[in-house]
Structure 1
Amino acid sequence: MRPSERIDEKVDSLFTKMSTPVLADISLDFGGNIVEELYPNTLPDLFAGSQLVLVGRYRQTGPATITLRGDVNGEEQVFTYADNTFRTSGGDEFIPRLWATRAIGNLLQQIRLQGESEELVASVVNLSIRYGIITPYTSYLIEEDDIFSQLGRQNLVDDVMEEAEMAPPAEASGGAAVDRAETAGSMAEASAPMALPTMVTDEDGTSPSQNVANQPVRLVGSKTFVWRDGRWLDTAYDPSQPVQEVGFASDTYFDLLSAVPEIGPYFALGEQVVVVMGDVTYAVVPGAGQESVTLPQELIATTTPLPAGATPVVVEAVVTPALATPTPSSPVPSPQSPTASLPWGWLIGGVAAAVLFIALLWRRK
């Protein structure tokens, strides 16, 4: 608690929540599909009026049966959802960045509790650069020229570790410690992706984001672009990989847009753009460029054309019926699902009218 907060309000809020349990000891089974890096790692109990959003990554595609288990008044309840489809491609573009926000928050919590290690810091740096999420370790990265190389990122991690060894131990209490804990906690539990820059605090409690807000960074869909030497660079760009040049407004340019329409929002950034699509890196350049380019095989092999204006989904939305025999001590209102029509993820609802249980998954490449 902060000094300005009232303890009676906090206790009352906690008591109200704890007095209306809905489902305890929750577990999910994805029918044999390998779901990795699921956040939160441990599923908390559900209470009336609460919301639980899960984000994770899966490897296998195709149909799957998903099973939700939990206890109500000591009795196991099982909810089975058949005929779900894990898509090969598609999905709302905010899901990867939301997953990255959760992952970074989880890593920052580990750093706060266990101390800085090279592995944890490197993971934060790589995720931060890839998804455009500013953290205490990467608040100035958009000004660096070597963030696109693995060597450059490793040098950054080495610098951070060297500074950590010379710095005094971080405060375990006080305003700065509370700010760090709140930053990590809010990211680990985020229900929406954090925009760039993320408002975080340094060791002394000050915010580095004021110097970042005016920097040339663009978020387009699930990608982050940084302005470098007169062109927009995808943060997924690897300088060691070959680049295929596409002349701006050339026949090849429009042929590529027709073959891979997903690239359109990225090309719309301007006349000079470097973007990574699947296994191919394209560079939009002035002039003619190459007469022909290679199409990203992964996208061609997996993408099914959608009607104009249609929004791809990851897994179909499903709604479960209410429990057959609600008990007085744990009231279970009739199910409602105001978000069942949302075009992202898959929804498991109906345990209680005010309880929303959402899982957002995207295919791991």
Structure 2
Amino acid sequence: MAGRFTSEGAATAVVTGKLGGKPVTYEYSVTFDRGTFDDEFIPLLWANRRITYLVQEIRLHGNNDELLAEIIDLSKKYGILTEYTSFLVAGDERHRPEEFQTMDKDEAISEMRVRGGRAFSEQSGKIAVTQSSDLKTQSYMIMPPTSGVVQIEGETRRFNNIAQVGAQGFFRQGNLWVQGDLSGDKYDMKIKQYSKAYFQILEKDPSLGKYLGLGNQVRLQIGSQVVQIDTEGKETLTDSELKLLFQ
């Protein structure tokens, strides 16, 4: 069982269900905290099961823009591909993958409607059986899904322009790795790789190292700022700039 909480501290977890055909409710006292890096697989498990649930809802009740938008958001944020969001890394004859990654949400929903329309609506036949089997496998996963691997009509496909770092998804656009839940192609600050500024931010937050290790060019969010690590950029950060990133 995996779930998500939005604030820290003491709380009561309520689990409801059926036992022997009768409704039951169990309450547990719990304390939520930020956890550790060792816990980063838990958000991936939650996101994977949430995506599976949303896809099943669409199969049962038809396309719904709100559900489609949530599937796209989760796929980008956590780097979890589905049969219906594989266009984010595969592209097509009209668009390169990075164009799909940066398009606005309405366009992405439209693409997902077109690509998933037939499969979402199939209730019988080979496509429906294959999809049902894939969803069942995905929902029973007890480990996070492998980054860049997706089942498309029963065929396993692998992509190397997507990565999961901890619980965060990144997409490669040329030589640049971009945090999946960032929109557009703008950034607030550019920092030169291996400069004094580069090591200043690592000193402030050593955990950033796992993201910066993706390559020479990485765009990610630090605090309220979108930062791009590149071959050129700021070589030293002032105290006010550091405060802006780590306030």
Bin for the TM-score computed over the shorter chain: 0.7 to 0.9
CA contact (8 A) 2:201 2:242 kept: no
Per the alignment, do residues 265 and 222 of structure 1 end up closer, same or farther by CA in structure 2, a change over 3 Å counting? same
Specify which of 119, 125, 130 is matched with residue 179 of structure 1: 130
CA contact (8 A) 1:280 1:294 kept: no
Specify which of 129, 140, 146 is matched with residue 99 of structure 2: 146
Specify which of 238, 241, 255 is matched with residue 200 of structure 2: 255
1:239 and 2:239 matched: no
Number of aligned positions between the proteins: 235
Specify which of 228, 232, 238 is matched with residue 287 of structure 1: 232
Measured in 1, the distance between the counterparts of 2:199 and 2:67 equals 43
- Post-superposition offset of 1:186: 2.9
1:230 and 2:175 matched: yes
Alignment-derived partner of residue 94 in structure 2: none
Q: What TM-score do you get using the length of structure 2 for normalisation?
A: 0.79
Alignment-derived partner of residue 66 in structure 2: 119
CA contact (8 A) 1:245 1:289 kept: yes
Alignment-derived partner of residue 150 in structure 2: 199
Aligned ranges 1:47-126 → 2 under 5 Å: 54-64=1-11, 66=13, 80-81=28-29, 84-88=30-34, 90=36, 92-126=39-73
Specify which of 201, 209, 220 is matched with residue 165 of structure 2: 220
Aligned ranges 1:244-323 → 2 under 5 Å: 244-289=189-234, 291-292=236-237, 293-294=241-242
Per the alignment, do residues 78 and 252 of structure 1 end up closer, same or farther by CA in structure 2, a change over 3 Å counting? same
- Post-superposition offset of 1:89: 5.9
Per the alignment, do residues 214 and 135 of structure 1 end up closer, same or farther by CA in structure 2, a change over 3 Å counting? closer
- Post-superposition offset of 1:102: 0.7
1:102 counterpart letter in structure 2 = R
- Post-superposition offset of 1:189: 3.6
Q: Secondary structure of 1:106's partner?
A: helix
CA contact (8 A) 1:133 1:197 kept: yes
CA contact (8 A) 1:97 1:193 kept: yes
1:160 and 2:123 matched: no
Q: Secondary structure of 1:218's partner?
A: strand
Per the alignment, do residues 65 and 137 of structure 1 end up closer, same or farther by CA in structure 2, a change over 3 Å counting? closer
Question: Deviations 1:94-146 (Å, cap 9, x if unpaired)?
Answer: 12221110110001111111122222222222211221111121122114223
Q: Where do 5+ consecutive residues of structure 1 fail to align? A: 1-53, 302-365
Measured in 2, the distance between the counterparts of 1:225 and 1:163 equals 22
Measured in 2, the distance between the counterparts of 1:132 and 1:65 equals 31
- Post-superposition offset of 1:69: 8.2
Measured in 2, the distance between the counterparts of 1:131 and 1:114 equals 25
Q: Secondary structure of 1:58's partner?
A: coil
User: Which moved further from structure 2: 137-146 or 251-260?
Assistant: 137-146
Q: Where do 5+ consecutive residues of structure 2 fail to align? A: 92-96
Q: Which has the higher contact order (CA 8 A, sep 6+)?
A: 1
2:234 counterpart letter in structure 1 = G
Per the alignment, do residues 109 and 278 of structure 1 end up closer, same or farther by CA in structure 2, a change over 3 Å counting? farther
- Post-superposition offset of 1:277: 3.1
2:213 counterpart letter in structure 1 = A
Structure richer in helix, relative to its length = 2
- Post-superposition offset of 1:295: 5.1
Measured in 1, the distance between the counterparts of 2:233 and 2:115 equals 48
Q: Secondary structure of 1:110's partner?
A: helix
Measured in 1, the distance between the counterparts of 2:215 and 2:119 equals 46
- Post-superposition offset of 1:269: 1.7
Measured in 2, the distance between the counterparts of 1:130 and 1:77 equals 33
Measured in 2, the distance between the counterparts of 1:77 and 1:125 equals 33
Q: What TM-score do you get using the length of structure 1 for normalisation?
A: 0.56
Aligned ranges 1:8-23 → 2 under 5 Å: none
- Post-superposition offset of 1:216: 2.4
CA contact (8 A) 1:105 1:186 kept: no
1:279 counterpart letter in structure 2 = S
Measured in 1, the distance between the counterparts of 2:14 and 2:3 equals 16
Q: Secondary structure of 1:172's partner?
A: coil
Identity of aligned residues (%): 25
Structure label with greater radius of gyration: 1
